[in-house]
């Protein structure tokens, strides 16, 4: 009974993650919608500093936020027609100078009729969406710059590299070369079906992760042209982007393509099995009008891509997780970490003080969850002394069960083999204290770690100089980690590495402090529950 009730908490938390980082994206809709990929004509404004030569051809960029940006760069061929649900193929070369001044098209995805609908910021959607963007510092350096590759969140269902708060300009102005990318989402990005199983038994199913790997290969081949160091690549992301960081660390196909990772707001939902994904794939085919045992891969590939973007019902995607059982993820991510088989690279991992905002945003009542705990309620209350109301208890329980405890478990596992740092983000700007009364929401740290607070339209008008200073300080930790593998900027508190025997967490609150045994009592209990419910195979 107790274990089943605890599992229900996990399921409830996982369910609300189906919409991943909607909260973050909505807060930054952006004034300009992403436009079509640039054509192959020379840019009239192109000058020598704004032009680079990559393996596929020359690119002309533009000044963006003080940095030099190259947008809408194809890193793989369009995954359309016979290339749908296949490994990404190399992008075709071009002649002349390709304009790289506008974002590429967003990948096919659903939109939602909620108060946080941000579909207007996506611009044109297309199955032809495998592009990336590069920001480089405005000044030349004879020393290669650290490379930071941002992977957006969105529960593997939504998102686009064009959202303003995901801009790489501020970090580029610090001295990094920053990349962000689109990858296939939803049923076009994570999909298995009996017909495809017959076509290629044991073939890939995590196409979105394969896209991320293809983008990292592009970085290895081309980033030096932008002044970046291909031997110093940091991958970082939030929510499903943070899950992607862990997935890439676990994937044998990504080994050697990056050298550090930052996993923000990862969650504890385990990957689904290939067999379950095949069952879901059959339901998806029926939902788009395809039925029958004789269904072929050609039938599946003939369905207009937009039809998949219209599927919103629960059970018609593998979201918010990837699939275990292909060449990308032969085993679940947790199992790989349990066995010490992940990439042994330095890792930062952490979460926010109100991650459960994704639950309340879509109608879940945390107080009602607590009231359904039955006899477990007394045991849970002991773990949260001083919390007297059901809403706050429910929010914190979801936060810690779905985010904080799993993050600490991954940190402890990885710390056995490589330097690992934990953080907890609770800094609330003064102008948002009434709006963020329960703490920093899911995704609320992104404008601070990327120093894009002034690009976030929802908070820009409420910022103080102190908030901007805090954003610069916090982003300096991320930049310094990318630059030197040690997240300790000058004149900042030391950030000790984490292990079970050295339980240190850097708390980004009103002050930046080092906490010892942070939430240890409750996380010990929740981690044991997690290990019992989701044991490594």
Quote the DSSP letter at residue 321: S
Residue 391 · residue 364 · CB < 8 Å? no
* Cα distance between residue 537 and residue 270, in whole Å: 12
355, 475, 480, 527: the catalytic one is 355
21, 338, 442, 476: the catalytic one is 442
Residue 536 · residue 453 · CB < 8 Å? no
If we measure between CA atoms, which residue out of 506, 473, 507, 510 comes closest to residue 492?
473
239 is catalytic: yes
- Tokens 């908030």 identify what position? 467
* Cα distance between residue 414 and residue 310, in whole Å: 39
φ, ψ of residue 71 to 5 degrees: the values are -115, 155
355 is catalytic: yes
φ, ψ of residue 88 to 5 degrees: the values are -60, 140
What b-and-e string marks burial along 460-470, b requiring 16 or more CB atoms within 10 Å of the CB? eeebeeebeeb
Quote the DSSP letter at residue 502: B
193 is catalytic: no
Summarize the chain as % helix, strand, coil (round to 5): 40, 15, 45
Tell me the β-bridge partners of 513. 507
Token pair belonging to 251: 């994937």
Strands 420-425 and 347-352: what pairing?
Answer: parallel
28, 167, 239, 353: the catalytic one is 239
Catalytic residues: 239, 355, 442
């Amino acid at each position: 009974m107790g274990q089943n009730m605890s599992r229900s908490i996990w399921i409830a938390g996982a369910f609300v993650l189906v919409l991943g980082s909607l909260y973050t994206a909505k807060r930054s809709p952006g004034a300009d919608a992403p436009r079509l990929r640039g054509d192959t004509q020379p840019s009239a404004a192109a000058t020598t500093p704004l032009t680079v030569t990559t393996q596929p051809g020359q690119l002309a960029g533009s000044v963006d936020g003080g940095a030099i940006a190259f947008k809408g760069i194809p890193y793989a061929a369009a995954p359309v027609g016979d290339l749908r649900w296949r490994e990404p193929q190399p992008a075709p070369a071009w002649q002349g100078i390709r304009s790289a001044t506008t974002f590429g098209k967003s990948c096919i995805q659903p939109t939602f009729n909620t108060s946080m609908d941000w579909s207007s910021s996506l611009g044109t959607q297309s199955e032809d969406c495998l592009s990336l963007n590069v920001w480089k510092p405005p000044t030349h350096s004879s020393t290669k710059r650290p490379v930071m590759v941002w992977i957006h969140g969105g529960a593997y269902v939504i998102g686009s590299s064009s959202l303003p708060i995901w801009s790489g300009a501020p970090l580029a102005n610090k001295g990094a070369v920053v990349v962000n990318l689109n990858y296939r989402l939803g049923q076009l990005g994570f999909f298995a079906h009996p017909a495809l199983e017959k076509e290629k038994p044991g073939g890939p199913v995590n196409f979105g992760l394969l896209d991320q790997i293809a983008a990292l290969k592009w970085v290895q081949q081309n980033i030096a042209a932008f002044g970046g160091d291909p031997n110093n690549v940091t991958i970082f992301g939030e929510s499903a982007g943070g899950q992607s960081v862990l997935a890439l660390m676990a994937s044998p196909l990504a080994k050697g393509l990056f050298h550090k990772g930052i996993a923000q707001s990862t969650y504890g939902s385990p990957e689904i099995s290939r067999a379950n994904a095949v069952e879901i794939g059959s339901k998806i085919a029926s939902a788009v009008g395809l039925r029958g045992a004789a269904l072929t891969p050609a039938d599946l590939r003939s369905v207009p891509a937009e039809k998949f973007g219209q599927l919103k019902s629960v059970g018609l995607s593998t979201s918010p997780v990837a699939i275990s059982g292909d060449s990308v993820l032969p085993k679940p991510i947790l199992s790989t970490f349990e066995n010490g088989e992940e990439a042994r690279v330095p890792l930062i991992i952490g979460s926010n003080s109100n991650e459960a905002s994704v639950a309340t945003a879509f109608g879940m009542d945390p107080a009602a969850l607590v009231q359904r705990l039955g006899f477990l309620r007394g045991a849970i209350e002991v773990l949260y002394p001083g919390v007297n109301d059901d809403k706050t208890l429910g929010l914190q329980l979801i936060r810690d069960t779905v985010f904080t405890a799993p993050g600490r478990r991954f940190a402890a596992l990885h710390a056995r083999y490589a330097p690992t740092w934990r953080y907890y983000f609770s800094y609330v700007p003064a102008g948002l204290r009434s709006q963020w009364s329960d703490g920093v929401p899911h995704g609320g740290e992104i404008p601070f770690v990327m120093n894009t607070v002034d690009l976030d339209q929802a908070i820009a008008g409420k910022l103080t100089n102190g908030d901007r200073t805090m954003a610069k300080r916090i982003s300096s930790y991320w930049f310094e980690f990318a630059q030197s593998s040690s997240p300790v900027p000058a004149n900042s508190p030391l950030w000790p590495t984490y292990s079970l025997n050295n339980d240190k967490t850097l708390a980004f609150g009103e002050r930046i402090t080092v906490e010892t045994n942070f939430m240890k009592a409750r996380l010990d209990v929740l981690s044991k529950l997690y290990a019992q419910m989701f044991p490594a195979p």
